[in-house]
Amino acid sequence: MSMKKVVMALVLGGLLAAPAAFASVDGNALQAESIRSQQAEIRAGVESRTGRYKNLNADTRSQLLAKQGEVLRTLEGKQSTDDLNEEQKTEVFNALEWIEAAINKTEDERLVCERRQILGSTRRERVCKTVAQMREERDAARNQMDSRGGCADCKSN
């Protein structure tokens, strides 16, 4: 299974079936072994600096290998993504998205998910947005605060 298929299964699973955030398109959980083998394949390319990995800078290579380590530690002893709790699923999803974006140089398209408490409830929900969407929302909120004169940290001259 290619990295693109793994990521697409993760994305589609998370968007189409929130409770089964790591379901693939056909409803089956992703097998931890397929994630591990794909990450081993990527690691080999990154370490040998060949193919699509040859132009990664040292900082990106280092971060990528660290993210892979996080994913592999989380999946250790697990058979599938069904064996992960919701926080672990979110962490693994975000790390795999980061790895994919770093390799393809598509940072703005990278999905970032977080678990947020639903207002007035003890339940939590998964909210996923692209890096570009998060930046736009942050900028819009900052602009709104500035236009209302509500910027507490701003100093008038």
Whether 145 is covered by a domain: the verdict is no
Residue 36 lies in domain: 3-109
**What integer pLDDT is reported at residue 29 of this predicted model?**
75
In tens, the pLDDT along 25-83 reads 334 578 999 999 999 999 999 999 999 899 999 999 999 999 999 999 999 999 999 99
Classify residue 129: in a domain, yes or no: no
| Cα gap 153→88, rounded to integer Å | 36
Identify the sign of the CA torsion 51, 53, 57, 58: negative
Per DSSP bridges, beta strands 124-130 and 111-117 are antiparallel
pLDDT tens per residue across span 2-26 = 455 444 444 444 433 333 334 443 3
Instruction: Please give the tally of structural domains in the chain.
Output: 1
Provide mean pLDDT across the span 125-149: 93
In a domain, 59, yes or no: yes
Flag whether 72 is in a domain: yes
Q: Is there a domain that residue 136 lies in?
A: no
